[in-house]
Structure 1
Amino acid sequence: MSFSGREDDYWSKSRIKKSTGKFNMFDDNISVDNASAFANKILSCRDYADDDFSESLESYLDHEIPSSSSFPGEESRKNEQANLISRIGTPAKPTTSTPTPAANQRGTSYRQPSSTPATPGDEVQPGHPSFHHARTSSFGHGRSKSDTGTTGGNFSVYNARPDPGDTETNRRGSQQEGSSDYSSDTTASIEDILQRSTPKVTSTAAMNKLEAEVQFLRRSLKASERERWSRPLVTDTVKRIRDGETHTGLSMYRTLEDKLEIMGKAIESYDGNVITTVVLFLRQTLSDAVFQEVLKSRPVAVNHYISYLRMKGNYPELISFLKTMKMNEEAAMVTYKQAVSNSDLAVKFDSLKQCLREFRSHCPNMSSETWLVERQLALLEWQNAVDSMDSKLAQDTRNSIYQEFPRPPSLVMSPVISSVYHSCLYHYDNQNKQTEFASPLNFREKHALTEKQFLWPALAARAKVKAWADIEDLLTSKGTMFTGKKLKSVVSFDKVAELLFKFGAPEEEIKKYLQAMNDSEKCLQLSQKLRCYHTFVETCIYLKDRRELENFARKFPSNSEPHRIAADALSASTIKWK
């Protein structure tokens, strides 16, 4: 049976219509005008304690009853009833929800509501409260009984005789099914519930702010709709690009005059991002010939477009654009940079050949760069040939130098100095005509190396294999008819002496180059550093500096060789000291 059907059945069985001492509070003829009389009537009927009265006492009255009103009965009873009538909300029919434990603690006894409404025969026990508020309501006066079937938002009133058998069941049901909101409402006072149910009123300032935002959004929407199909101002478009907006309106500039106008404004803005954005827009919307013609008279735009292509790594497009702009030297250098960046030898070799052709045909003013590219190609050819030859020679055990000093994994793409070092280390005395191209002299002549470029790596290579005689030959001049051979080098002799000491040369070999130094004071310092004590003593004798020699002798024990050499020189009677 539905709720409305049970309600009609309840009212049909009710004794209110038959009883003259009871008044139907749900009658539609109750209004605000006769509310006071109706309240007095209800209070006078307080002795009738049955279900009809308890269900009818859920008030329609929302107005406050003055505290000075006088009703018959006890004073405490009067105040309690008056407050209930003035504050209680619209009643609800008893639902199937279980009463909360909070209600039981206040002393009110309940029985589990059944599927059918209670009859008027169930009377209220004297001395028990007649009302239990679960939720408040804002309903007013004059409600009929058809409006009392509301659920899930108001409160329920149960005034039933306690059922001992159902007490424990009701308590367990209350603990399991009662929600946290319902329990909190039952323990709160009527004033707290009314305060929580009062809607929050938005302040006037907040409402004004929201209205202003809505108006702004409406105006923006209308402006966007208007500008959707119309060309925006050039200054506005430039500002949007500068501010980083996504939809700048560039697509609305369709004629060449409009595009030139915005290109001019972009250049006047001195903003690289704006200029690059407009240039890319022209590149997409103009033909190649028109685009190139537009940029020829605008070098600022050309520079930004070149920088953009470099950043993106679009080198084919960059080279083509540079050639179109008659910037052949820049195009040739970009081509060379791309050629040398290849790691594959065959690709690198072919790219350098193509670059060499570009230099010769389009860059007549770059003769020095053309010569360098030629030398680089020759170096790659030499390195590739020598590397292949060494890989075969290293397999022959008779070539001990490859076992004593293992060669690097690959000579290809190494610098010129490394190639000189490699040639002087493995092919210094090469007399074979088939392998003569790998000799140091042949390499020096082919690549036009200076004496200084050739001498230092050659000295390092021969010092590593301890070929002291070869080093002396490299540093000895041929002499003339009137002058004999003497040491002469573009490399300072102190560097040569330090190099020989590094590779373990004997003192006799280092002494030659120390004595060849023109600075005697520097020779004294370097001979002590390189532990050439005989050279130090001889230099002191040459300078006739007895005090320096005495200081030198004190640094060593009396039985050491340096001390003995210094003592012999100091005791010699043939030496005239200062």
Structure 2
Amino acid sequence: MAQSSWGKEMSDDMDDEYWNEKPGKRRNFFDDKPTSPPPDSTDSGKKETRCFAQSLKDAGLDIDNEPRDFISMHGGVPRFSKDAGRTHSGSFSSGSATGRPHSLQSARGTSLTPQSSAGSNSVPVELKTSRSSSVVVEGSGKSSSATSSTTSSPAASGPGTDGLYVHRRSASASLGDKKNTSQSSSPGSSHGSHHGSSASIDETTKKDTRPSMTEVAKLQAEIHALHRKIKSLEKSRWSALPVADTVSRIITGERYSLEPYKSLKDKMTLLDAAIGFHDGNAIIAIVMFLKKTLSKTIFHQELSKRPEAVNQYISFLKSYQSKEESVAAELGALGRVEEAALWRYKLASQTELPQQRLTRIMDCNSMYFQRKESLATENEIIKEQVLLLNKQLQIEPRDQRYQIEGRFPFRELPRKTSLYFQPVITTLFYCCLYHYASQESDMSNPQTLKREFNLSDKQFLFQALLARAKLKDWTQVEALLTSKNWLGKAKMKAAVTFSQVVYILVTVKAPTEIIAKYMMFIEDKESRIAMATKFKIHVVVIDTLAQLKDRQRLLAYRPQCINTPADTHFEIVLRNTDHKWKN
């Protein structure tokens, strides 16, 4: 029979009080006085009896006023005398009907539990302590029911004893001991009711958390339902659902299976349904299923009849296989020869090595573009690209050597990048910058480049002006802007407007007099004044206002010319008597 919660609380409090004492003043478990060495060994039994009786009295086990008549020492082991009566089964009495706890546990683990006997004889009980000391308590009274935690000790049974039982308190039997303790209390005693209340609180706080039979049955029913659902899903995998339901499952992300659709008709119906829903993911899923389950001929034949499916399929291949030749093969098999040729040209143009790119582009052009009449325009463009790449492959190594040698103009304007893979306009500017005076037979000659690639005069003049202006070659700039009529008279005329020429000169930071010279060839005078005012070319503004004979605007512009070289020119124009002013 396990100790009650009241006894446990008492022992815990005594334990904490004992171990909190200092080592020199530490007290015994059942003594209120500090521990001190026994003065006389003959009095040790009496002191032990008195301390034990006092501890029982403090614990509420008020057995008798005279502990000598109730407790005797037999070889240093306390025993209950047979004179102590019991009022209830398993509870001690001290002349009253008050119920007592059944067990007492000391702070060091001593378990004191009275055991009932079959008759009125005393029952010795052995109490095991943490220091292997054995305490046997004798008690008399009425018989009480044995508990499940009590085990008989064969070594203690023998003549002169009604029975000796060894009590071993275990944590697993504490709940059953508390129930037996509450049942053994007398319903008429006040202490018994108090003990029952403590046991009920302890039982409530340590309620068994195991699920009830109803909960277990409910969980088992749910498990069986899930098993049935899984089996039905496994069976439905091999049974073809309606086409609309399958496509809906694909769109909504539910579990689906396309394997039940075996015939070609069912597969094509499935693809048509996905096209009808206009969902790209469903179309791709079904197309990939068809590609896996059909032969290549039938797959391409049936898919080519459905352009929407082909578009989705090709977009999918280009997204996930952007550098694969298989995309071009699929395009050709589906009848899209032009797209296949352009895809192969794209792959060939992505080669980084110049000579390999040239070879691949030439092969692609001869195999696909030249054989297809619908790609004749693209064929001509690719031929020009091959010609340009050939020129770059010959010019680049030579110019690298010239730059290392420090030749003109590579010394004044070192190259910043390679000529490889540059467009034709950039190549023309390069040739005008570094090879403007080369012979016409040279492949780097700008005029030869213009003729071979059918460049316009405007394209050529713009790049040539920019290149010669960067080199500060104003003689060549003037030659580019001068033309002769049929009488041989020179005239400033250009394929580009002089406003564009001025912008080019301003970009290369040409001298002010050079900019003013070509700014005066702008035909619209108001545009000329606006541009001259913007770039602060005061001479052009003054001369243009003088041409317009507008003296008032000229005087209004005077403050902007103060403290500038144009101030002197302003005075000369204003004092010139040849001008006939309008105002």
TM-score (norm 1): 0.69
Q: 1:120 to 1:361 in 2, by over 3 A?
A: same
Aligned residue for 1:305, secondary structure, equals: helix
2-side partners of 1:333 and 1:541: how far apart?
62
Following TM superposition, by how much is the alpha carbon of 1:535 offset from its aligned partner in structure 2, in angstroms?
2.3
Out of 417, 421, 440, the residue aligned to residue 413 of structure 1 is: 421
2-side partners of 1:150 and 1:409: how far apart?
93
AA partner of residue 365 (structure 2): L
1-side partners of 2:437 and 2:220: how far apart?
97
AA partner of residue 475 (structure 1): L
Out of 393, 398, 403, the residue aligned to residue 389 of structure 1 is: 398
Structure 2: stretches of 5+ with no match in the other structure:
1-62, 72-77, 112-126, 153-166, 178-194
Aligned residue for 2:580, secondary structure, equals: coil
Find out whether 1:327 has 2:309 as its counterpart.
no
How many residues are aligned here? 457
Q: 1:522 to 1:141 in 2, by over 3 A?
A: farther
2-side partners of 1:192 and 1:212: how far apart?
35
Which structure dedicates a bigger proportion of its chain to strand? 2
* Aligned residue in 1 for 2:493: 488
1-side partners of 2:234 and 2:368: how far apart?
57
Find out whether 1:380 has 2:389 as its counterpart.
yes
* Aligned residue in 2 for 1:500: 505
AA partner of residue 449 (structure 1): L
The superposition leaves residues 491-549 of structure 1 with CA deviations (integer Å, 9 ceiling, x where unpaired) of: 22122113223334334432332121111112112223334333222111100111121
* Aligned residue in 1 for 2:75: none
* Aligned residue in 1 for 2:319: 311
* Aligned residue in 1 for 2:431: 423
* Aligned residue in 2 for 1:164: none
1-side partners of 2:515 and 2:422: how far apart?
31
Aligned residue for 1:517, secondary structure, equals: coil
1-side partners of 2:506 and 2:571: how far apart?
26
The superposition leaves residues 208-257 of structure 1 with CA deviations (integer Å, 9 ceiling, x where unpaired) of: 97567435413312313433554455444333333335x63223333333
Report the more deviating stretch, 523-532 or 382-391: 523-532
Find out whether 1:573 has 2:577 as its counterpart.
yes
Q: 1:278 to 1:354 in 2, by over 3 A?
A: same
Q: 1:440 to 1:53 in 2, by over 3 A?
A: farther
2-side partners of 1:248 and 1:155: how far apart?
57
Following TM superposition, by how much is the alpha carbon of 1:341 offset from its aligned partner in structure 2, in angstroms?
1.4
1-side partners of 2:243 and 2:422: how far apart?
56
2-side partners of 1:523 and 1:502: how far apart?
18
1-side partners of 2:135 and 2:213: how far apart?
50
Native 8 Å contact 2:458 2:496 kept in 1: yes
Aligned residue for 1:366, secondary structure, equals: helix
Q: 1:150 to 1:272 in 2, by over 3 A?
A: same
* Aligned residue in 1 for 2:444: 438
Native 8 Å contact 1:95 1:151 kept in 2: no
Out of 153, 174, 184, the residue aligned to residue 172 of structure 2 is: 153
Out of 555, 561, 564, the residue aligned to residue 560 of structure 2 is: 555
Out of 462, 467, 477, the residue aligned to residue 461 of structure 1 is: 467
* Aligned residue in 1 for 2:540: 535
Native 8 Å contact 1:553 1:562 kept in 2: no
The superposition leaves residues 52-90 of structure 1 with CA deviations (integer Å, 9 ceiling, x where unpaired) of: 799x99x989xxx9xxxxx9976xx53444xx5xxx7xx
Native 8 Å contact 2:238 2:259 kept in 1: no
1-side partners of 2:576 and 2:214: how far apart?
113
Find out whether 1:471 has 2:490 as its counterpart.
no
Find out whether 1:264 has 2:272 as its counterpart.
yes
Q: 1:524 to 1:356 in 2, by over 3 A?
A: same
| Percent identity of equivalent pairs | 28
Aligned residue for 2:448, secondary structure, equals: helix
Q: How does 1:516-535 map to 2 (within 5 A)?
A: 516-535=521-540
Following TM superposition, by how much is the alpha carbon of 1:365 offset from its aligned partner in structure 2, in angstroms?
1.7
1-side partners of 2:461 and 2:97: how far apart?
125
* Aligned residue in 2 for 1:226: 235
Q: How does 1:48-67 map to 2 (within 5 A)?
A: none
Q: 1:203 to 1:499 in 2, by over 3 A?
A: farther
Q: 1:476 to 1:204 in 2, by over 3 A?
A: farther
The superposition leaves residues 241-281 of structure 1 with CA deviations (integer Å, 9 ceiling, x where unpaired) of: 33335x63223333333323322332233221111111111
Aligned residue for 1:486, secondary structure, equals: strand
Find out whether 1:98 has 2:109 as its counterpart.
yes
Native 8 Å contact 1:498 1:530 kept in 2: no
AA partner of residue 450 (structure 2): R
TM-score (norm 2): 0.68
2-side partners of 1:60 and 1:380: how far apart?
115
Q: How does 1:60-139 map to 2 (within 5 A)?
A: 78-81=97-100, 84=101, 98=109, 112=129, 115=132, 118-120=135-137
Report the more deviating stretch, 493-502 or 261-270: 261-270
Structure 1: stretches of 5+ with no match in the other structure:
1-41, 66-70, 101-109, 125-139, 158-185
AA partner of residue 463 (structure 2): P
Out of 432, 441, 448, the residue aligned to residue 454 of structure 2 is: 448
Following TM superposition, by how much is the alpha carbon of 1:196 offset from its aligned partner in structure 2, in angstroms?
1.3
* Aligned residue in 2 for 1:513: 518
The superposition leaves residues 429-453 of structure 1 with CA deviations (integer Å, 9 ceiling, x where unpaired) of: 11384xx221110010011111222
Native 8 Å contact 1:553 1:567 kept in 2: no
Native 8 Å contact 1:241 1:274 kept in 2: yes
Native 8 Å contact 1:550 1:566 kept in 2: no
Aligned residue for 1:98, secondary structure, equals: coil
Q: 1:255 to 1:113 in 2, by over 3 A?
A: same
Following TM superposition, by how much is the alpha carbon of 1:575 offset from its aligned partner in structure 2, in angstroms?
1.7
Q: How does 1:253-292 map to 2 (within 5 A)?
A: 253-292=261-300
2-side partners of 1:479 and 1:342: how far apart?
50
2-side partners of 1:236 and 1:492: how far apart?
69
Following TM superposition, by how much is the alpha carbon of 1:560 offset from its aligned partner in structure 2, in angstroms?
4.3
Aligned residue for 1:119, secondary structure, equals: strand
Native 8 Å contact 1:51 1:120 kept in 2: yes
Q: 1:429 to 1:365 in 2, by over 3 A?
A: same
1-side partners of 2:298 and 2:354: how far apart?
40
Aligned residue for 1:153, secondary structure, equals: helix
2-side partners of 1:573 and 1:361: how far apart?
74
Native 8 Å contact 1:497 1:514 kept in 2: yes
